[in-house]
Amino acid sequence: MNVVIRKIGNSEGVIIPKEVLDRMGLEAGDTLELSMQDGELRLQPTDADFARQIEAARIFMEKYKIAFKKLSES
Which ranges of 1-74 does DSSP label H, i.e. alpha helix? 18-24, 48-63, 65-73
In a domain, 1, yes or no: no
The CATH number assigned to the domain holding 69 equals 2.10.260.10
In a domain, 25, yes or no: yes
Q: How far is CA 10 from CA 7, 14, 24, 46, in A?
A: 7, 14, 28, 25
In a domain, 56, yes or no: yes
Number of compact structural domains in the chain: 1
pLDDT of the residue at 6: 95
Query: Under 8 Å CB-to-CB from 24, ≥6 apart: which residues?
Result: 45
In a domain, 20, yes or no: yes
Query: Under 8 Å CB-to-CB from 35, ≥6 apart: which residues?
Result: 41, 42, 44
pLDDT of the residue at 53: 87
| Residue (of 25, 18, 64, 17) closest to 44 by Cα position | 25
- Spans in the chain with pLDDT lower than 50: none
pTM over 0.85: no
Domain limits for position 14: 6-73
**pLDDT of 7-28, one tens digit each?**
999 999 999 999 999 988 888 8
In a domain, 43, yes or no: yes
**Chain mean pLDDT for the chain:** 90
